[in-house]
Amino acid sequence: MKLVTIIGARPQFIKAAALSRAIKTHNRDSSLQKVEEIIIHSGQHHDPNMSDIFFSSLEIPLPDYTLGIHNLSHGAMTGQMLEKIEQILLHEAPDVVLVYGDTNTTLAGALAAAKLHIPVAHVEAGLRSFNRAMPEEINRILTDHIAQWLFCPTQVAVKNLQAEGVDQRAGVEIIHNGDVMLDTMRYFINKASRITLDRRKGSVDGYIVCTLHRAELTDDLERLRDVFTSIVSIAKEHPVFFPLHPRTRKALDKAGCTFDHPGLEIMEPVGYLEMIDLLHHAGLVITDSGGLQKEAFFSGTPCLTIREETEWTELVEAGFNRLAGYAPESIVAGAKAMATVTVDNSSFIYGDGTASQSIIATLLRRIH
């Protein structure tokens, strides 16, 4: 089976790492049919600490094709990717194209493949925020509606797809097999704790990890200023480690925010191994990231989400995550309340850490 993996953004590297590992493990068994993986990196994230570090530390094979497409408007970026990916797919003629999550890379990859009648497998299918102002929501809806195999991380995702009638299309299969990010975290957690003790030195348990990067925030400077002011105020009580996404750094500069405040440590984006160690020892996560909401749960750490809605509603229902919105008083009060929450992560709402193996096994059964 020949499979083309299309990735380009940080969260996709973490998800694709699980699949590449599952393929490697599968290929070690000489009695089984081999899987050939070709990797296309669109270039959507290209800084060394947003891209290269994930390939090396997560042991992802180097991309076979690197497109170098970044820093463009949504239309220009998606259009250029579509054109270049189409040429590669024509040349490689894979049995299946694998796309992840909800970025412009996801949509461009799925669209290029579907137009060439190459089956698309969407990993992390079925997620919905029900907020169509989010570029990610448009990307996921369109990808789900042209994919053939929809691999869902949660039961909620399955229901979302059924509600849209996705399962009524001939040949389409919705498969609930758990979250591949859990696979990656399970595999790397032991390596993580060894490399990052320095970062936590001097900080008692009870520190906060904060990340912010969504367009809803970075495109609205007044909102961003309010949220940042809340973080500055929270940092007076508990140390806050804040690895800054390049887009957020630019927006904070534009908003006139300064970075020198008591208890606040602004950092460059950290590598995945460092991030999961930080999460495991934190008292609270404050974020607008989709991935971090789940990784906080996997780490047994409560989460305050700086958004008005989330795709991971099961965590909010369980009381392990709270939606704070953007108002400073709600963020400060939310941080105080969530810091005392104990997270029981013993349930299997995101599977058992073997989602990637099950995806490869399913594709092999369906394709040959």
Residues within the interface to ligand UDP (CB under 6 A): 10-11, 14, 211, 213, 243, 269-272, 275, 289-292, 295
**Distance between CA atoms of residues 324 and 268, nearest Å:** 25
Q: Compute the least distance from the CB of residue 93 to ligand UDP, in Å.
A: 30
Which backbone phi and psi does 287 adopt, to 5 degrees?
-160, 160
**Distance between CA atoms of residues 126 and 253, nearest Å:** 36
264 pairs with which residues across the strands? 240
DSSP class per residue in 290-333: HHHHHHHHHTT--EEESSS--S-HHHHHTTSEEE--S-HHHHHH
Q: Compute the least distance from the CB of residue 310 to ligand UDP, in Å.
A: 11
Q: Which is nearer to ligand UDP, 80 or 129 (CB)?
A: 129
Q: Which is nearer to ligand UDP, 148 or 184 (CB)?
A: 184
Q: Which is nearer to ligand UDP, 10 or 70 (CB)?
A: 10
Q: Compute the least distance from the CB of residue 84 to ligand UDP, in Å.
A: 23
213 noted as active-site residue: yes
Q: Coil, helix or strand for 96?
A: strand
Q: Which residue in 45, 176, 213, 281 is the catalytic one?
A: 213
Q: Which is nearer to ligand UDP, 213 or 280 (CB)?
A: 213
The amino acid present at 210, given as its one-letter code, is C
Q: Compute the least distance from the CB of residue 134 to ligand UDP, in Å.
A: 11
The vertex-126 CA angle with 302 and 185, nearest 5°, equals 45
Q: 365 CB contacts (<8 Å, ≥6 apart)?
A: none
The token duo for 320 is 């392990």
Q: Compute the least distance from the CB of residue 10 to ligand UDP, in Å.
A: 4
Comparing CA positions, the residue from 202, 201, 226, 198 lying closest to residue 212 is 226
Q: Which residues are catalytic?
A: 213
